[in-house]
Amino acid sequence: MTGATARQLWRRFARSTRGVAAVEFAVVLPVLAMIFLATFDAGRAIAIYMKVRAATYTVDAITNQYQTIHDADIQAIFAATDNVLAPYATAPLALTVTQIAIDANGNATVSWSDTQNGTAHAKGSPMPVPANLKTPNSYLIFGEVSYAYTPLFGFFGGSGIKFSDNLYATPRSVASITRISP
């Protein structure tokens, strides 16, 4: 092949438009696939976050209706809260429900605390409570929920995201809920 023939062949190749769409598609396809998978992971993350918020409300709303709570009641409350997360896995879910006693001086301490897959607060330990909720000689129910979300496609880093939420409520039918454990 002579130099003139090679130049003609190169010019013909440069002017050709056949296959350009296929080449452009091959370049854009990985980017589009990555955007699609990231959107899928982000959608799941948002859905789980909303369920964590609903689970926090659920644990408080059910607990504050009791006058006395036994171990079986706590397990039922945690089971009902687990159901809020359906259809997502409940293994990375941690629930804690605590009753906080506020004395006449506005000091808040733990009256009782129970947990599932988490760490319960020690009875009698001080608890931070927002100033506007520190009503002397009162009680609060404090629900805490956390969830360790692991994305399916790994677009949020290797360790995933930890969602958490908490909520204060007051007992409904009594001033203080009595916790009875064997």
Burial of 108 from C-beta contacts in 10 A (0-12 / 13-18 / 19+): buried
State pLDDT tens for residues 163-181. Answer: 999 999 999 989 999 999 8
The structural domains of the chain, with segments of one domain joined by +, span 3-179
Per-residue pLDDT of the chain (182 residues; tens, 9 = 90+): 666 787 887 787 777 767 777 788 888 889 998 888 888 888 988 999 999 999 999 999 999 999 999 999 999 999 999 999 999 888 899 999 999 999 999 999 999 999 999 999 999 999 999 999 999 999 999 999 999 988 887 766 667 889 999 999 999 989 999 999 86
Q: Which of 51, 28, 40, 31 is nearest to 155 (CA)?
A: 40
Which pTM was predicted?
0.80
Percent of the chain surpassing pLDDT 90: 63
Residue partners of 156: CB distance under 8 A and separation at least 6:
41, 45, 149
* pLDDT recorded at residue 38: 83
* pLDDT recorded at residue 182: 60
* pLDDT recorded at residue 181: 81
Q: Of all residues in the chain, what percent are helix, strand and coil, respectively (each to 5)?
A: 40, 25, 35
State pLDDT tens for residues 96-119. Answer: 999 999 999 999 999 999 999 999
**Residue type (1 letter), 136:** P
110: which 2 tokens? 């733990």
* pLDDT recorded at residue 171: 93
* Other residues' Cβ atoms within 10 Å of the Cβ of residue 103: 12
Q: Is the peptide bond before 87 cis (omega within 30 degrees of 0)?
A: yes
**Residue type (1 letter), 61:** A
- CA distance linking residue 44 with residue 11, whole number of Å: 51
Burial of 88 from C-beta contacts in 10 A (0-12 / 13-18 / 19+): middle
Please report the beta strands in the chain, taking only residues with DSSP state E, as ranges in sequence order. 68-69, 93-102, 108-116, 138-149, 161-169, 178-179
CA 159, 39, 150: angle at the middle one, nearest 5? 20
**Residue type (1 letter), 159:** S
